[in-house]
Amino acid sequence: MGLFTGPDIGRIEWRLARIERSMAIIMEALGIEKPGPHPAAADIRDAISRGRKIEAIKLYRDAMGTGLAEAKDAIDRGTWAQDLGAD
Q: Domain extents for the chain?
A: 1-34, 40-83
User: Which parts of the chain have pLDDT scores under 70?
Assistant: 1-5
CA distances from 82 to 7, 17, 30, 38, 85 (A): 23, 13, 23, 10, 5
- The pLDDT assigned to 19 comes to 93
